[in-house]
Chains A and B, each alone.
Chain A
């Protein structure tokens, strides 16, 4: 059986601190590690953020996060949680689907015996809000630690499909004009309709492959964009409130949305009752990623 979720932490920036993604990511990572996780067993750290501080393109954000996490005095020699030792870091990007693909990747490294534990950090932030056109997402970061699961529990299946006929439906690009950088998010009117169609097609295929009925799904942790996605999935799957909706006014996360939904459910105490959880992401491409988690 696949990897289990050890812990997830969500961090939203304090406006007074003007925190960007890296700062929130470091806080989320430290928070996970300080919660009884042996840091020296984390062998891989992957960041799946798309929109980032200062439009940094090098080095990988994961290496910057690792560098800052290592500065944590709690991780110095003698710490009860040990130190980060040999760590593989890199960024994995595929729009909103990067998170689930990174979960599959870390799960693969754990199942192969390459690493004992892996951390994925995700989230987004905008550099200069004045120059952002149609940027709809909240700033913040979430971190999750995975480790080897026990029989019949943990991540049991993954699937990613791309529907390239809709590749122009949602784009995020950065352009230079007149000594300014503009982040332009272009979302076509048909994106919602196409996204829902793609999700339903992929979900049907996935559930059949995993030999599980939709009625056996206890909760769905999904990306939330575009507006109306969650209500349409709720309606078309008949899963209703089992598809977790985040408060879109304060929690309009992009890549971090499925982990924010998980965090919300953990805090509500209903999480422990769930047996089959579906992680779902849909985004640019159009790409749909799914993962089944059993506990």
Chain B
């Protein structure tokens, strides 16, 4: 029986402080053409405060993940940190040492093989892809994939910097901070991931860029939102179709889709495009923006954690995670939440 991997446990950490869309736009020099909450579907999101940062979010998510795991920290053989943000609470950016080293030391997994991976909002899906490959190869039998996204400085800086309602920094107003962690462990291919695929369309790599800001502490993000969205939803249905077909699956086999959480309108138009292409819509297209915003690489597992906690999943539900990220990176993960329901339900 071929060895694959499955999700053994999930952990989440959200910062304490909640910030509403209204309070963000109140401080802007310009007023967006329509209300931010209306166009994004985001009422509120969490922002780091005090000593919270990318590292503490990742560490706390990792500890939460271990709470639900049958493994203890010293059992973890590999840790991949996948966050975009490597900012500490003083907005100092860590080029090195790698954040994965700090995470493994903080949680007590010092012996784990570790490195950081960066792939924009597809970071955690990329981490899952790598972890699965290492587990399949027998290099490790388990791996923690973890991310801490302290990206709210892009929102704060956009508020200060936006001069027109159509600014390239508009998308920055949708972000929220969060940490997520998952543990993958080896299993037979029958219970493992059914589809696990990523690819990059490099010709679109400049449509969304972020860099440390020279004008303000933290980072600034510049997004050609409409173009990025348009290309993403044009490319995604065919890509998903191809990934599913290669594994003998159809879109009608999917029960729950968790797309990357960007904005309500983007998810709705993507849903329509998929329905048009496949002639079918799964029973649930997950949308958790209202209280979290766009939490970058953590969105899929933050949403999955929420579904498990709210007892909205069944063991035989087939779940599809769809990554759409700067790069332009597309990713598809399909699995059944076998073994997870009991732990969180």
Interface positions of A (Cβ within 8 A of B): 45, 50-51, 54-60, 62-71, 84, 86-95, 97-98, 101, 105, 108-109, 111-112, 114, 160, 162, 164, 167, 170-176, 179-181, 183, 283-285, 287
Contact = CB atoms under 8 A, between A and B. Distances in A.
B78 to A, nearest CB: 10
Contact of B101 (A68, A89, A101, A287): A287
12 contacts: A55-B93, A59-B326, A59-B329, A64-B206, A88-B129, A93-B118, A94-B101, A170-B97, A175-B90, A179-B215, A285-B97, A285-B98
A239 B323 CA distance: 49
A283 B116 contact: no
Contact of B96 (A70, A105, A175, A284): A284
Contacts of B329: 59-60, 63, 89
Given A63-B327, A108-B133, A174-B93, A87 B114 contact: no
Q: Which of B118, B139, B200 has the most CB of A within 10 A?
A: B200
Contacts of A97: 115
5 closest A-B pairs by beta carbon, nearest first, are A66-B202, A67-B202, A63-B327, A59-B326, A55-B212
B211 A55 contact: yes
Interface of B: 84-86, 90-98, 100-102, 104-105, 110, 113-120, 122-123, 126, 129-130, 133-134, 136-137, 139, 198-200, 202-206, 208-219, 221, 325-329
A286 B133 CA distance: 26
A112 B209 contact: no
Contact of A89 (B200, B214, B217): B200
Nearest to B97: A284
Contact of B133 (A70, A92, A114, A287): A114
Given A95-B97, A105-B130, A108-B137, A63 B202 contact: yes
Contacts of B211: 54-58
B118 A94 contact: no
A167 B92 contact: no
Contacts of A285: 97-98, 101
Contact of B210 (A45, A58, A284): A58
